[in-house]
């Protein structure tokens, strides 16, 4: 009987301590993204994917309680855009690669080189 | 009285809409429009083209139906909206130089004479371009327009170069021919920075029998 009482009391104590812990609300996505953003340095290149399916690429300007501010990376400069944490689906660092113009010239150069090589091989084969 | 009630309800509705649509702190701001969009672009480039013999007239006729050449091209255009551009290009070339034998009869014999033809095509092509995507570093586009070709031919025969027992008439003829054809083009502008771009393009000029001219173009230019 005493053993049962002890076990019951232990369980009660455990439940009493764990209940408030269980009841503590888990951090929301918005809070997680705010915490994440606060660890990024100003000027960091980021890509922010929004819940509506759109995304913003740019440089992080600042972070406040409810939103982060991004300077969009666009051809024609745009004003800083505020993105609410509750709208954010995902944030990732973004690395700028070659510009499209450079990629285009390289692709054309490679294509032309391959064409010349094939043509040279064909001519050599006919000789 | 009734009018006043309607006006009051309308005013309340308008104020309500304005209040609801006012920016709220923490709300995601919509993508901004592009007020600083450059209005003009200009550039130049190099084209490889293939065209039907008929479009070169008598200048070249080697029987295979198509002639190849190159063009140097200058472009200028103005954007009326971020997507719609009116533009024109001027292209010089290709040039052709051919030599043909023509026989002159004298004393019952035929003497060969040489007729040299120089031809040069100059093209002007106004067109309307629709550019896809907004404020990006790569913009595909399609163009429709008119290709106006001016073919300048110069035929010459030098009598001194003929050893015939009779005088041979000098030929020195100049002839200009103009043709206009609908054109369609597709390509893209790929930027190196916010203003300078490279522009690869394929272009076709249409006429009786289908495609009369096919061009591969590589240009570069700048927005301003």
Q: Are B198 and B190 in contact (CB under 8 A)?
A: yes
Read off the pLDDT of each residue in A64-76 and give the average, rounded to a whole number: 92
Question: What residues in B contact A76, CB-CB < 8 Å?
Answer: 34, 36-38, 135, 194
Interface A-B: count of C-beta contacts within 8 A: 74
- Alpha-carbon gap, residue B59 to A10, rounded angstroms: 107
Contact: A99, B192; criterion CB under 8 Å: yes
Task: Based on the fold, state whether residues A88 and A108 are members of the same structural domain.
Answer: no
Task: Based on the fold, state whether residues A89 and A67 are members of the same structural domain.
Answer: yes
Q: Are B172 and B153 in contact (CB under 8 A)?
A: no
- Alpha-carbon gap, residue B154 to B174, rounded angstroms: 5
pLDDT at B179 over 70: yes
Q: Is residue A3 part of a domain?
A: no
Domain span at A42: 27-96
Task: Based on the fold, state whether residues A44 and A86 are members of the same structural domain.
Answer: yes
pLDDT at A25: 65
pLDDT at B18 over 50: no
Secondary structure class of B212 (helix, strand, coil): strand
Domains held by chain A: number: 2
Contact: A66, B38; criterion CB under 8 Å: no
pLDDT at B19: 45
Question: What residues in B contact A74, CB-CB < 8 Å?
Answer: 34, 135-136
Tens-digit pLDDT profile for residues B42-82 = 999 999 999 888 777 665 666 668 888 899 999 999 999 99
Task: Based on the fold, state whether residues A68 and A110 are members of the same structural domain.
Answer: no
pLDDT at B38 over 80: yes
Facing B197 at nearest CB: one of A72, A78, A101: A101
Question: What residues in B contact A108, CB-CB < 8 Å?
Answer: 200, 218
Q: Is residue A2 part of a domain?
A: no
Q: Would you say the pTM of this structure is higher than 0.80? A: no
Q: State the best of A76, A99, A103, A111 to mutate against chain B, taking most chain B CBs within 10 Å.
A: A76
pLDDT at B202: 97
Task: Based on the fold, state whether residues A103 and A91 are members of the same structural domain.
Answer: no
* Of B130, B133, B122, B123, nearest in space to B184 by CA: B130
Q: Give the closest-approach CA distance of A76 to chain B in angstroms.
A: 6
| Cβ count within 10 A of residue B167 | 10
pLDDT at A22 over 50: yes
The CATH number of the domain holding residue A60 is 2.30.30.100
Question: What residues in A contact B141, CB-CB < 8 Å?
Answer: none
**More confident site: B157 or B74:** B74
Task: Based on the fold, state whether residues A69 and A125 are members of the same structural domain.
Answer: no
- Judge whether B27 is closer than 8 Å to chain A, CB to CB: yes
Task: Based on the fold, state whether residues A55 and A103 are members of the same structural domain.
Answer: no
Give B6's pLDDT tier (boundaries 50, 70, 90): low
Task: Based on the fold, state whether residues A53 and A84 are members of the same structural domain.
Answer: yes
Task: Based on the fold, state whether residues A32 and A44 are members of the same structural domain.
Answer: yes
Task: Based on the fold, state whether residues A112 and A75 are members of the same structural domain.
Answer: no
Give B181's pLDDT tier (boundaries 50, 70, 90): very high
Q: Is residue A104 part of a domain?
A: yes
**More confident site: A99 or B96:** A99
Q: Give the closest-approach CA distance of B222 to chain A in angstroms.
A: 12
- Domain architecture of chain B: domains with CATH: 39-223 (2.40.160.20)
Q: Extract long-range pairs of B76-82: CB within 8 Å, 24+ residues apart.
A: B76/B40, B76/B41, B76/B42, B77/B40, B77/B41, B77/B42, B77/B129, B78/B39, B78/B40, B79/B37, B79/B38, B79/B39, B79/B40, B79/B41, B79/B131, B82/B34, B82/B37, B82/B131, B82/B134, B82/B135
Task: Based on the fold, state whether residues A114 and A70 are members of the same structural domain.
Answer: no
Using a CB–CB cut-off of 8 Å, the residues of A that contact B are: 50, 54, 56, 65-67, 72, 74-79, 81-87, 99-105, 108
What are the distances in angstroms from CA B71 to CA A75, B93, B190, B201, B219?
30, 5, 22, 13, 11
pLDDT at A51: 93
pLDDT at B9: 66
DSSP labels for B8-54? HHHHHHHHHHHHHHS--TTSPPPPP--TT---EEEEEEEEEEEEEGG
Facing B137 at nearest CB: one of A79, A85, A100: A100
Give B4's pLDDT tier (boundaries 50, 70, 90): low
pLDDT at B40 over 90: yes
- Alpha-carbon gap, residue B108 to B34, rounded angstroms: 80
Tens-digit pLDDT profile for residues B189-216 = 999 999 999 999 999 999 888 899 999 9
Facing B32 at nearest CB: one of A75, A79, A87: A79
Q: Are strands A45-50 and B171-191 parallel, antiparallel or unpaired?
A: unpaired
pLDDT at A111: 95
Q: Is residue A42 part of a domain?
A: yes
Residue of A nearest to B30 (CA): A81
pLDDT at B11: 53
Contact: A75, B135; criterion CB under 8 Å: yes
Q: What is the mean pLDDT of chain A?
A: 87
Q: Are B146 and B115 in contact (CB under 8 A)?
A: no
- Alpha-carbon gap, residue B69 to B60, rounded angstroms: 12
Structure tokens at B200: 């690869």
Q: Is residue A81 part of a domain?
A: yes
Task: Based on the fold, state whether residues A103 and A78 are members of the same structural domain.
Answer: no
Q: Are strands B196-207 and B171-191 parallel, antiparallel or unpaired?
A: antiparallel
Question: What residues in B contact A104, CB-CB < 8 Å?
Answer: 188, 190, 198, 200
Q: Is residue A8 part of a domain?
A: no
Read off the pLDDT of each residue in B173-188 and give the average, rounded to a whole number: 94
pLDDT at B84: 96
pLDDT at A17 over 70: no
pLDDT at B23: 45
pLDDT at A115 over 90: yes
């Amino acid at each position: 009987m005493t053993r049962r009482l002890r076990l019951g009391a232990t369980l009660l104590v455990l439940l009493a301590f764990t209940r408030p812990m269980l009841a503590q609300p888990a951090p929301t996505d918005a809070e997680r993204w705010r915490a994440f953003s606060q660890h990024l340095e100003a000027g960091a290149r980021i890509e922010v994917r929004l819940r509506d399916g759109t995304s913003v690429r740019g440089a992080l300007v600042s972070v406040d309680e409810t939103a982060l501010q991004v300077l969009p990376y666009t051809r024609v400069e745009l004003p800083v855009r505020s993105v609410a944490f509750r709208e954010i689906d995902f944030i990732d660092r973004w690395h700028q690669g070659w510009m499209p113009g450079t990629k285009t010239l390289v692709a054309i150069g490679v294509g032309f080189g391959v064409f010349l090589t094939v043509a040279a091989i064909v001519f050599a084969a006919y000789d | 009285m009734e009018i006043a009630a309607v006006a009051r309800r309308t005013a309340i509705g308008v104020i309500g809409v304005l209040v609801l649509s006012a920016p709220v702190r923490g709300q995601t701001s919509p993508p901004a429009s592009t007020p600083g969009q450059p209005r003009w672009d200009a550039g130049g480039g190099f084209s490889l083209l293939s065209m039907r013999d008929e479009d070169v007239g008598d200048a070249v006729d080697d029987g295979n139906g198509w002639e190849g050449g190159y063009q140097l091209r200058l472009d200028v255009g103005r954007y009326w909206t971020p997507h719609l551009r009116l533009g024109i290009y001027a292209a010089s070339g290709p040039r052709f130089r051919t030599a043909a034998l023509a026989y002159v009869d004298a004393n019952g014999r035929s003497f060969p004479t040489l007729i040299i033809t120089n031809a040069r095509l100059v093209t002007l092509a106004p067109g309307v371009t629709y550019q896809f995507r907004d404020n990006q570093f790569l913009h595909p586009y399609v163009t429709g327009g008119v290709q106006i070709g001016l073919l300048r031919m110069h035929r010459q025969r030098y009598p001194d170069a003929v050893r015939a027992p009779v005088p041979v008439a000098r030929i020195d003829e100049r002839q200009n021919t103009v043709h206009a054809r609908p054109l369609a083009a597709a390509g893209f502008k790929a930027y190196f920075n916010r203003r300078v771009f490279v522009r690869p393009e394929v272009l076709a000029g249409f006429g009786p029998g289908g495609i009369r001219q096919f061009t591969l173009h590589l240009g570069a230019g700048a927005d301003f």
